[in-house]
Amino acid sequence: MDILLLIIVFSSLILISNIFRRKFKTSNLRLPPGPPRWPIFGNLLQLGPLPHRDFANFCIEYGPLVYLQLGNVDAITTDDPDVIREILLKQDDVFASRPSTLAAVHLAYRCGDVALAPLGPHWKRMRRICMEHLLTTKRLESFSSHRAEEAQHLVRSVWGQAQKGQPVNLREILGAFSMNNVTRMLLGKQYFGTGSAGPNEAMEFMHITHELFWLLGLIYLGDYLPAWRWIDLYGCEKKMREVEKKIDEFHQKIIDEHREKRERKRKRDNDNNAANDHDDGSKVEMDFVDVLLSLPGDNGKAVMDDVEIKALMQDMIAAATDTSSVTNEWAMAEVIRNPHVLKRVQSELDSVVGPNRMVQESDLAQLPYLRSIVRETFRMHPAGPFLIPHESLKPTKIRGYDIPAKTRIFINTHALGRNTRVWNNIEEFRPERHLEDGDKRVEISHGPDFKILPFGAGKRKCPGAPLGTTMVLMALARLFHCFEWSPPGGVRPEEIDTQEVYGMTMPKAQPLIAIAKPRLSPNLYC
């Protein structure tokens, strides 16, 4: 009993001292406007299950730059192109760090990856490895035949279901398409389909990945109110540790398999053979894990540490799979809701590609209407509603307001795309709006106007944007070219729901189910 009393007194003292410390720290500052704050919790209690919508409402009420106190953490949010440009370009050096959240510590190898690492030499080195060894144009080009196979595999799966008269679960097939593309490139394995690693391994892999996404997206109270970590009412931190262990075992197994394969090959090859030649003289492309195993480590080490390799593998899987499949599902939902858009994109595909062959990657630049569908999808349903939250490294000012060091930055891309000072008819899916300035090439990334921001900007801009864009355009081009699409029986197109759920990526609340009817000659599908 005495101990309990002591704990209560001690915790109360800490809380009271925190309140006074915070009051003292911020009393001389001219902070941006924001909603009234509660003691201890600040604005945490004003957030519901869709925080991007709550933050958007704060911007409507208090202006384009809003200050929030989330427990112990200072935060700002914005939906305004000029403020975003100031943060991500003009003051990139101040704002390009990341907060060290508990999920990042547990699930990204103590922030040892690229995406969640704080700004510093480690991030710089890991990012350089991505840009100079993994995501180069040449390396991505070497996987183009795999991507073509996966595009055909996607078409074949839909065709198979259409032949049986079954509705298609687009979440499942688009998820498998993205996952296969990424894992073939990264791990040298296809997880779904005929050449797959096997149903058990695929299911295990999917399951762990979904748990990872969920935990990374969580606004976990323990990050904002350290006292909460003692309670951990919903067992989130325990879950993070469990997933951390499972994922680590999974990645280690893949590294060990690759090492064994390399060792077997080294023994087989005679000294004169090039390291990546087959016995029959044909070239074998190296997957990303092979590349990482062949790179030198930090501080003169001969090879990279396993932990660094695992952190990069994790980033590639997390950053590349869900982002592209969530975008594809939203694009399909909006196009099926708007049959005139489907007609127009099919007419573009028919005139550029014709009815006698499948769309190829080389066609994608010639499809401005398809590109404007993707741009409009990013406007309405950006894959990352807050990008990946940034953190400021030192005190600074924006528009004359003080921004303390270690402020968390929530750039609300969802609200940017629905900002009525920037866009009109915000709830209308209208790809044509992106063709109006007569520009032939529809840019899918952000332009100088910062009116959409699907991949971020500045130092932390997504390094996989070209690959992500290709995967999205390719899947959509094939699905629109090969099939007519309609909602399942009894549902009118405009009744397809567009509710989202919040997370690190923001999927549709309900999986999209639709009916596909082949529109090309049968021999093209097999």
Residue 333 region, left (φ>0) first, then alpha (ψ -120 to 50), else beta? Answer: alpha
Among 115, 313, 442, 520, binds ligand HEM (CB under 6 A): 115
- Give yes or no for a contact between 257 and 189, defined as CB atoms under 8 angstroms apart: no
Minimum CB separation of residue 79 from ligand HEM in Å reads: 15
From CA 386, how far away is CA 29, in angstroms rounded? 26
Which residue from 428, 454, 427, 430 is spatially nearest to 443, judged by alpha carbons? 454
Alpha-carbon Rg for the chain in angstroms: 25
Residue closest to ligand HEM (Cβ): 464
Pick the stretch among 142-150, 322-330, 334-342, 431-439 that binds ligand HEM (CB under 6 A). 322-330
From CA 288, how far away is CA 182, in angstroms rounded? 10
From CA 329, how far away is CA 349, in angstroms rounded? 20
From CA 452, how far away is CA 376, in angstroms rounded? 9
Positive or negative: CA dihedral 380, 501, 153, 260: positive
Q: Does 314 bind ligand HEM (CB under 6 A)?
A: no
The kind and range of the H/E element at 80 are none
Site string for ligand HEM, 381-420 (x = CB under 6 A): --xx--xx--------------------------------
CB closer to ligand HEM, 115 vs 515: 115
CB closer to ligand HEM, 17 vs 144: 144
* Six token digits for residue 122: 């480690």
Site string for ligand HEM, 349-388 (x = CB under 6 A): ----------------------------------xx--xx
Site string for ligand HEM, 433-452 (x = CB under 6 A): --------------------
462 carries a ligand binding annotation: yes
From CA 63, how far away is CA 150, in angstroms rounded? 46
CB closer to ligand HEM, 134 vs 482: 134
Q: Does 81 bind ligand HEM (CB under 6 A)?
A: no
Site string for ligand HEM, 117-146 (x = CB under 6 A): ----------x--x----------------
| Secondary structure (DSSP) of 453-484 | -TT--GGGS-TTHHHHHHHHHHHHHHHHHHEE
- Give yes or no for a contact between 44 and 371, defined as CB atoms under 8 angstroms apart: no
Which residue from 385, 379, 505 is spatially nearest to 443, judged by alpha carbons? 379
CB closer to ligand HEM, 78 vs 327: 327
Among 222, 385, 456, 487, binds ligand HEM (CB under 6 A): 456
Which residue from 105, 467, 497 is spatially nearest to 336, judged by alpha carbons? 497
Work out the burial of residue 35: count CB atoms within 10 Å of its CB; fewer than 13 is exposed, 13-18 middle, 19 or more buried. Answer: middle
CB closer to ligand HEM, 151 vs 383: 383
CB closer to ligand HEM, 102 vs 388: 388
Minimum CB separation of residue 185 from ligand HEM in Å reads: 8
Q: Does 108 bind ligand HEM (CB under 6 A)?
A: no
Among 417, 463, 487, 503, binds ligand HEM (CB under 6 A): 463
Q: Does 462 bind ligand HEM (CB under 6 A)?
A: yes
Pick the stretch among 5-13, 320-328, 332-340, 345-353 that binds ligand HEM (CB under 6 A). 320-328
Hey, which residues does 76 pair with through a beta bridge? 67, 409
Minimum CB separation of residue 276 from ligand HEM in Å reads: 21
Minimum CB separation of residue 98 from ligand HEM in Å reads: 7
Q: Does 313 bind ligand HEM (CB under 6 A)?
A: no
Minimum CB separation of residue 263 from ligand HEM in Å reads: 27
- Give yes or no for a contact between 278 and 80, defined as CB atoms under 8 angstroms apart: no
Which residue from 14, 68, 72, 13 is spatially nearest to 40, judged by alpha carbons? 72
Q: Does 255 bind ligand HEM (CB under 6 A)?
A: no
| Secondary structure (DSSP) of 255-278 | HHHHHHHHHHHHHHS-TTS-TTB-
CB closer to ligand HEM, 455 vs 525: 455
Among 293, 467, 515, 520, binds ligand HEM (CB under 6 A): 467
Binding stretches for ligand HEM (CB under 6 A)? 114-115, 127, 130, 315-316, 319-320, 323-324, 327, 383-384, 387-388, 454-456, 460, 462-464, 467-468, 472
- Give the residue ranges of the annotated binding site for heme: 462
